[in-house]
Amino acid sequence: MPVTRIDHLVLTVGDLERTIEWYCGVAGMTHLRFGKDRHALAFGEQKINLHVRGHEIEPHAAVPTAGSADVCFIVDEAPDTLRERLDRLGIPIELGPVARDGATGELTSYYLRDPDGNLVELSSYRW
């Protein structure tokens, strides 16, 4: 039974509202509420469930820590357009544009930090 895709992952965060604002504003994700006061960020057919540090949902990672993620998201934007949008939003770019190897080919990537210091790579496959 091979894995076919990621359904969701969990991100431990320090400030729920700040995280939601950042991912919705910078990465164009959608904030979802579900269950009993649960929160997630949706994009495509995936989502990121959000756990507030110290209030994680059971079961959870052995050592849930805000700021320990390193994740790459694919955007449907040309690299120059992405750079212009990040500049307009005042989002500091840690590195980029740089060429990287993605799951299905060559990417152009920009590296950013979210409010908890997670490394967020926003990437475009070659246009």
Q: Where are the domains of the chain?
A: 8-125
- pLDDT, one tens digit per residue, over 47-77 is 999 999 999 999 999 999 999 999 999 999 9
Active site residue 121: yes
Q: For a pLDDT cut of 70, what percent of the chain falls above it?
A: 99
pLDDT grade for 94, boundaries at 50, 70 and 90: very high
d(CA 39, CA 42): 10
pTM: 0.94
3.40.50.300, 3.10.180.10, 3.40.640.10, 3.40.50.620: CATH of 8-125: 3.10.180.10
Q: Which of 17, 21, 45, 121 is catalytic?
A: 121
Q: Tell me what pLDDT residue 127 has.
A: 62
43, 27 Cβ separation under 8 angstroms: yes
